[in-house]
């Protein structure tokens, strides 16, 4: 039994969905569970719609209309006009109509999950329908009834015992009847509300299913030849890893390597299930294999860039030392506001942290901190993380930039720059 995950780039248009079907046909006779992301940049567009709804701006309906048009244009390329999938997609979009018809009253994170989740629900309707049209027997599965989470909206924490029981009860029998297509990135609460698992969480979804079903492997199909030492959008002469160990992959994702979601590896490592990262345009290419005994050879340093960072320094108002009691309270506020620290440094009188900027969370954190501390911050920064670095690579990466924070250990260097 195999688990496949197709990202947004692989299903961004009609040709991508046709290509997906051609890839799946190569695995005829295998039991397949397919996890699909939202199409193209749909998640970004739905995030924009969410903000427009919360702010009640005039462009809200225009944004929504363009999202619907994008999907229906793809439908018209793939199906006859009377195909039932048109009604399935239209009915799914109605959930957004219901969500935005009244003024917003719930928390931003709750609203975000109810709106943004529609991207995956629509994409999987289209993919499942096209697989059936292409002669590949396919069943559509609503993941929200199988991956159970708590009420941490935008960062749902998986309730593993309940999730494992639900998946084990139903999915094996479904796989006997044909390919199963489901959504990445989503979960459901006990109150039947939708949660998301964190941005780019579809890889994590695939690993959850694989772990619960004892899959032979997980393959995540990407628009890159495998895992590279750096993002080819920013760096020339990147190199591909043929193999990586679970440990190295966890380190890379922890520091922000975007090719894999940070939570993906651990369930696979626990079950000793290999993860393959392969190019969807060249399905026969070897890609990268992540496994227990993966061979790590680093011809070049691994470079990870995180944009849109905040560097924030906190000092006690009474000029006392930054003690463990202070740090306990500070970390409590970070956890309460779902702000994850990427780098931190402590001195006698201050505590400095670097983290991703999310406006709503940052503003709440700032208000909370200012009640007890003096706070200074810089925004719009870049965090450079490099593993297996050398002095020359560090000099090249920071040339012409202002270094605001630097932290170097045996294997890893992290530098915040403007």
Residue 8 known to bind ligand: yes
Q: Are 310 and 381 in contact (CB under 8 A)?
A: yes
Q: Average pLDDT of 20-47? A: 97
pLDDT at 253 over 90: no
How much is the pLDDT for 321?
81
Q: Check whether 120 is labelled as a binding-site residue.
A: yes
Residue 381: pLDDT above 90?
yes
Whether the Cβ atoms of residue 19 and residue 234 lie closer than 8 Å to each other? no
**For residue 298, what pLDDT band results from cuts at 50, 70 and 90?**
confident
Phi-psi label, residue 375: left if phi above 0, alpha if psi -120 to 50, beta otherwise: beta
Query: Within 13 A of 175's CA, how many CA atoms are on the CB side?
Result: 20
Instruction: Please tell us whether the domain made up of 2-291 is placed in CATH 3.40.1160.10.
Output: yes
pLDDT of 52 over the 80 cut:
yes
Q: Give the range among 234-238, 254-258, 394-398 with minimum mean pLDDT.
A: 254-258
Tell me the C-alpha distance between 204 and 265, whole Å: 8
d(CA 197, CA 7): 15
Return d(Cα 198, Cα 300) in angstroms, integer. Answer: 30
Report strand pairing: 32-36 vs 2-6.
parallel
Summary mean pLDDT of the chain:
95
- Residues 317 and 282 sit within 8 Å (Cβ to Cβ): no
Q: What per-residue confidence (pLDDT) applies to 96?
A: 97
- What pLDDT, on a 0 to 100 scale, did the predictor assign at position 119? 98
Check if the beta carbon of residue 6 is closer than 8 Å to that of residue 128. Answer: no
Q: Say how many C-beta atoms besides its own lie within 10 A of residue 384's C-beta.
A: 20
- Looking at the chain, which residues constitute the CATH 3.30.2130.10 domain(s)? 302-417
In the chain, what percentage of residues exceed pLDDT 70? Answer: 100
pLDDT band for 220, please (50, 70, 90 cuts). Answer: very high
Residue 184 is labelled as binding a ligand: no
User: For the chain, how big is the Rg over CA atoms in Å?
Assistant: 22
**Mean pLDDT value across residues 298-305:** 92
Quote the percentage of the chain above a pLDDT of 90. 86
Write out the two tokens for 46.
Answer: 């739905």
Amino acid 312: pLDDT? 97
- Cβ neighbourhood burial of 282 (10 Å; 0-12, 13-18, 19+): exposed
The DSSP secondary structure of 140-167, one letter per residue, reads: EE-GGGTSBB-S-TTSPPB-HHHHHHHH
Vertex 88: Cα angle to 31 and 3 (nearest 5): 20
**Distant-in-sequence, close-in-space partners of 416: CB < 8 Å, separation ≥ 6:** 309, 311, 343, 354, 381, 382, 383, 384, 403, 404, 405, 406
pLDDT at 299: 84
Ramachandran class of 102: left when φ > 0, alpha when ψ lies in -120 to 50, beta otherwise: beta
Give residue for tokens 């702000």. Answer: 339
pLDDT, tens only, 64-116: 999 999 999 999 999 999 999 999 999 999 999 999 999 999 999 999 999 99
User: Which of 52, 199, 181, 60 lies closest to 117 in space, CA to CA?
Assistant: 199
With 90 as the cut, is the pLDDT of residue 386 above it? yes
Q: Would you place residue 25 in the very low, low, confident or very high pLDDT band (cuts 50, 70, 90)? A: very high
Q: Specify whether domain 302-417 bears CATH 3.30.2040.10.
A: no
Question: For residues 411 and 417, what is the distance between their CA atoms, to the nearest angstrom?
Answer: 20
Residue-level pLDDT at 69: 98
CATH 3.40.1160.10 in the chain, residues?
A: 2-291
pLDDT over threshold 80, residue 294: no
pLDDT at 296 over 80: no
* Residue 4 annotated as lining a ligand binding site: no
Q: Tell me: the pLDDT tens digits for 130-185?
A: 999 999 999 999 999 999 999 999 999 999 999 999 999 999 999 999 999 999 99
**Where would I find the beta strands (DSSP E) of 135-259?**
138-141, 179-183, 186-188, 194-196, 217-222, 243-245
On the question of pLDDT at 369 being above 90, the answer is yes
**The pLDDT value given to residue 260:** 86
* Amino acid 257: pLDDT: 82
Instruction: Specify the pLDDT at position 388.
Output: 93
CB atoms within 10 A of CB 302: 24
| pLDDT for 311 | 98
Per-residue model confidence (pLDDT) at position 58: 94
Residue 261 clears pLDDT 90, i.e. is over it: no
**In the numeric block, which tokens belong to residue 334?**
């970070």
Q: What is the pLDDT of residue 349?
A: 87
pLDDT for 258 beyond 80: no
Beta-carbon neighbour count of residue 280 at 10 Å? 23
Q: Show the beta-strand stretches assigned E in 179-332.
A: 179-183, 186-188, 194-196, 217-222, 243-245, 275-279, 288-291, 302-316
Q: Determine if residue 287 is left, alpha or beta; phi over 0 gives left, psi from -120 to 50 gives alpha, anything else beta.
A: left
Residues in contact with 318: Cβ distance below 8 Å, sequence separation at least 6, in sequence order = none
pLDDT of residue 121: 98
Q: What is the largest CA-CA distance in the chain?
A: 72
Angle (CA) 185-130-125 rounded to 5° is 35
Q: Is there a binding annotation on residue 396?
A: no
Q: Measured between alpha carbons, how far is 274 from 214 in angstroms, rounded to an integer?
A: 11
């Amino acid at each position: 039994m195999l688990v496949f995950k197709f990202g947004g780039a692989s299903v961004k248009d009609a040709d991508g969905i046709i290509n997906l079907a051609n890839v799946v046909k190569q695995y005829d006779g295998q039991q397949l569970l397919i996890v699909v992301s939202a199409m193209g940049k749909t998640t970004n567009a739905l995030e924009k719609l969410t903000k427009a709804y919360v702010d009640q701006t005039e462009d809200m309906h225009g944004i929504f209309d363009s999202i619907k048009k994008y999907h229906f244009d793809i439908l018209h390329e793939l199906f006859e006009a009377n195909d039932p999938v048109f009604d399935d997609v239209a009915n799914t979009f109605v959930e957004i109509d219901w969500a935005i018809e009244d003024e917003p009253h719930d928390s931003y994170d709750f609203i975000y999950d109810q709106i943004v989740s529609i991207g995956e629900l629509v994409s999987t309707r289209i993919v499942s329908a096209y697989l059936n049209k292409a002669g590949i027997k396919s069943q559509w599965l609503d993941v929200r009834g199988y991956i159970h989470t708590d009420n941490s909206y935008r960062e749902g924490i998986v309730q593993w015992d309940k999730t494992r029981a639900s998946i084990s009860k139903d999915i094996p029998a479904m796989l006997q009847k044909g390919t199963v297509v489901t959504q990445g990135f989503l979960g459901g609460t006990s109150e039947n509300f939708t949660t998301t698992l964190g941005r780019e969480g579809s890889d994590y979804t695939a690993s959850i299913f694989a772990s619960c079903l004892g899959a032979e492997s997980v393959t995540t199909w990407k628009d890159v030849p495998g895992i590279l030492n750096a993002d080819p959008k920013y760096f020339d002469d990147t190199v591909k890893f043929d193999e990586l160990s679970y440990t190295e992959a966890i380190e890379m994702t922890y520091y922000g390597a975007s090719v894999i979601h940070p939570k993906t590896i651990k369930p696979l490592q626990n079950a000793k299930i290999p993860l393959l990262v392969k190019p969807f345009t060249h399905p026969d290419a070897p890609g990268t294999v992540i496994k227990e005994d993966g061979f790590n050879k680093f011809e070049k340093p691994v470079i990870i860039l995180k944009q849109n960072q905040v560097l924030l320094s906190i000092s006690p108002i009474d000029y006392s030392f930054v003690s463990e009691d202070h740090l306990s309270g500070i970390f409590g506020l970070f956890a309460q506001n779902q702000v994850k620290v990427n780098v931190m440094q402590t001195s006698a009188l201050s505590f400095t942290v670097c983290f991703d900027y999310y406006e709503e969370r940052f503003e709440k954190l700032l208000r909370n901190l200012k009640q007890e501390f003096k706070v200074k911050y810089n925004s719009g920064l870049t965090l450079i993380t490099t593993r297996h670095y050398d002095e020359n690579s560090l000099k090249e990466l920071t040339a012409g930039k202002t270094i605001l924070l630097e932290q170097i250990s045996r294997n890893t260097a992290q530098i915040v720059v403007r």
